[in-house]
Structure 1
Amino acid sequence: MYATILVPVDGSDESRAAIEPAVGIARAVVGTVHALSVREPLEYDLPLDDAETIEAEADRRSREALTAVVDRAEADGVDVVSEQRTGVPDREIGNVVDERGIDLIVMGTRGATAAATGRAGRRDRTRIGSTVERVLLEAAIPVLAVPSDGPTWSDAGSGTPERIVVPVDGSALARESATHALEFAAAVEATVHVVHVIDETRLALDSVSQRLSELLREGAHDVIEPVRFDAQDRGLEVRTDVRRGVPAAELVSYTDDVDADLIAMGRRGGRADDRDDVRRRVLGGTAARVLDQSSRPVLTIG
């Protein structure tokens, strides 16, 4: 799987966070890394000298960003190609996905523009930059979003995840995403943690009877068991758990508790939580919140 892996970079620390995971995955699955740098066109008419200076600096940063990917891949013996384009970043990313038959996109959760905005003192309400968000909304292939401020896979001496959290909610979409996550876990020989969160936002669980509480837990195990059996059939080490609470918060907390390296989940989920929020309605409320809150990489599928 993942024969072709796209890594968009812009020279920022945030985008550089994606390089090591992309190369590690490519090495594990014998894939090719496609490095892409997109230079955005100038939005204003400027004197020729100023425009040329800005263009030259943008070109330098773009080439340096690509060189960082190429050098890292070649050092690990991974096949790599690089490309520089001019245009709107998310559109060019989509074009490359279609033209090159990309199987996986690996991106830093925020790019240079979003990072600069945060440094300028504006309230930083999300880890996800606008370009990454648009890619997540539009991409038909898996997207791995990598924060720059969390633990790295090399911290444990590996370039790939060793422990993967796979959330399941009983929906067909979640089951399909879990199957993909297990395929990936088998490719990188990771331990799988299958977890279901009993959603307290749907039920007033403090007031339910003990019998209903038991039925909810039984239902949670019924959701988990097919994925557990699938993981075992693939020869994977698998652990399971049931939690209660707000799904996104519980998933992020659980991932920290088991010191997992990755959350692999459906992008859109079984339902959308915020009916008035288009972004969350398309992404799925839980996926959007996990992406916002997690300091660890999140692989969104579907």
Structure 2
Amino acid sequence: MFDRICVPTDGSDAAAAAFDHVLAIAADHGATVHVLHVADTTRDSVTRIGRDVVDVLETEGESIVEAAAARAAERGVDAETAVEQGGVPETVVDYADRTDADLVAMSTRGRQGVERLVGSTTERVVRRSPVPVLALRPGDEAVPYPYEDVLVPTDGSPAATAALDRALPVAERAGAAVHVLSVVDTGGIGVGDHVDVDVLSEYADDAVAAGVERAEAAGLEAVGAVEVASSPARGILSYVDDPGVDLVTMGTHGRTGVGRYLLGSVAERTLRSAPVPVLTVPVPDEE
């Protein structure tokens, strides 16, 4: 399912922890990891050592990717490396496209610390990437792989369908249960809106039932749930903690997440705070 995984790294502890998780996935799938370090051109990096003019960021980057390749070799995973200059999000997306990667996997934390602000590097990659992005947020404990429980939020939209399409083979390979969740968003309902929560819940029930039916048809254990929350992201995050899941797979478009270019979309809000990996699946804009 995954053959070529693009792994951006800045050499930080968080990136190293994410890389361990990616190596487990790559070893399971027999995939090649394409390790990329971006020498950010917004920083002055050229210096003189003796008679030689040296780009210290590129030199540092070579050391970082070589170390990552050595770790991959220890796990029996094939690795290719690259150091490129440019803006980080744009370069990551361009490199993933040129290497025909079918997954980008990266930490949501880097040398700058926890990226909680809108516009973080990971979020910018998610908005631009034409392939799925696995966002890994380092925690106190190592993220388990293979996954045991995979959560797919749904609103019945094409984006949710695309996420389920991606989640089912992931769950099947890992032997994981699939949790199909729809969140009834009450946060946008005003006093004069005359919106019946029961009607919204019925729609959510239908979306969940369709997802569960597809998961069961694939021979997977499936759990359906409808939650009422003040926002979709809050409902998703609450479900992640109880009953607990190992991976969230979600589309970057949907009725409740207007688009991957809209700051503050449901996917972005979820990946900022989720304590487990979030796999975002892009869907082309509808004309």
For normalisation by structure 1, the TM-score amounts to: 0.81
CA-CA distance at 1:47 after TM superposition: 6.5
Report the counterpart of residue 148 of structure 1 in structure 2: 138
Taking a change above 3 Å as real, the CA distance of residues 78 and 221 of structure 1, as seen in their structure-2 partners, is same
CA-CA distance at 1:129 after TM superposition: 6.5
Q: Does 1:238 align with 2:222?
A: yes
CA-CA distance at 1:150 after TM superposition: 5.3
Q: Which amino acid aligns with 2:226?
A: V
Report the counterpart of residue 248 of structure 2 in structure 1: 263
Report the counterpart of residue 37 of structure 2 in structure 1: 37
CA-CA distance at 1:200 after TM superposition: 0.8
- The answer (yes or no) to whether the contact 1:146–1:298 under 8 Å persists in 2 is yes
The structure that is strand-richer by fraction is 2
Q: Supply the RMSD in Å over aligned alpha carbons.
A: 3.0
Taking a change above 3 Å as real, the CA distance of residues 73 and 165 of structure 1, as seen in their structure-2 partners, is same
- The answer (yes or no) to whether the contact 2:7–2:104 under 8 Å persists in 1 is yes
CA-CA distance at 1:147 after TM superposition: 0.8
Report the counterpart of residue 212 of structure 2 in structure 1: 228
CA-CA distance at 1:54 after TM superposition: 7.9
Report the counterpart of residue 81 of structure 1 in structure 2: 80
Report the counterpart of residue 95 of structure 1 in structure 2: 94
Report the counterpart of residue 217 of structure 1 in structure 2: 201
Report the counterpart of residue 250 of structure 1 in structure 2: 235
- The answer (yes or no) to whether the contact 1:39–1:86 under 8 Å persists in 2 is yes
Taking a change above 3 Å as real, the CA distance of residues 73 and 261 of structure 1, as seen in their structure-2 partners, is same
Q: Which amino acid aligns with 2:92?
A: I
CA-CA distance at 1:297 after TM superposition: 1.3
Q: Does the residue aligned with 1:17 lie in a helix, a strand or coil?
A: helix
Write the distance in 1 (CA, Å) between the matches of 2:44 and 2:74: 40
Q: Does the residue aligned with 1:258 lie in a helix, a strand or coil?
A: helix
Q: Does the residue aligned with 1:160 lie in a helix, a strand or coil?
A: coil
Write the distance in 2 (CA, Å) between the matches of 1:256 and 1:53: 52
Unaligned residue ranges in structure 2 (runs of 5+): 283-287
Q: Does 1:297 align with 2:280?
A: no
- What does 1:1-302 correspond to in 2, within 5 Å? 1-41=1-41, 43-44=43-44, 48-49=48-49, 55-56=55-56, 58-59=57-58, 61-112=60-111, 114-115=112-113, 125-126=116-117, 130-149=120-139, 151-154=141-144, 159-203=145-189, 212-245=196-229, 246-272=231-257, 282=262, 285-302=265-282
1:199-233: CA deviation from partner (whole Å, max 9, x where unpaired): 1123359x989xx5544333222101121111112
Q: Which amino acid aligns with 2:235?
A: E
CA-CA distance at 1:60 after TM superposition: 5.2
Q: How many residues align?
A: 280
Report the counterpart of residue 276 of structure 1 in structure 2: none
CA-CA distance at 1:175 after TM superposition: 1.5
Taking a change above 3 Å as real, the CA distance of residues 285 and 242 of structure 1, as seen in their structure-2 partners, is same
Unaligned residue ranges in structure 1 (runs of 5+): 119-123, 274-278
Q: Which amino acid aligns with 2:233?
A: A
CA-CA distance at 1:125 after TM superposition: 4.3
Q: Does the residue aligned with 1:257 lie in a helix, a strand or coil?
A: helix
Write the distance in 2 (CA, Å) between the matches of 1:35 and 1:297: 19
Write the distance in 2 (CA, Å) between the matches of 1:92 and 1:213: 44
For normalisation by structure 2, the TM-score amounts to: 0.85
1:123-145: CA deviation from partner (whole Å, max 9, x where unpaired): x744x773222211111110011
Q: Which amino acid aligns with 2:33?
A: V
Taking a change above 3 Å as real, the CA distance of residues 161 and 200 of structure 1, as seen in their structure-2 partners, is same
Q: Which moved more, 1:140-149 or 1:212-221?
A: 212-221
1:38-90: CA deviation from partner (whole Å, max 9, x where unpaired): 2224744976359x79844x345423432343233223222222222233222
Write the distance in 2 (CA, Å) between the matches of 1:257 and 1:266: 22
Once the two structures are aligned, what percentage of the paired residues are identical? 32
Q: Does the residue aligned with 1:235 lie in a helix, a strand or coil?
A: coil
- The answer (yes or no) to whether the contact 2:107–2:136 under 8 Å persists in 1 is yes
Q: Which amino acid aligns with 2:272?
A: D
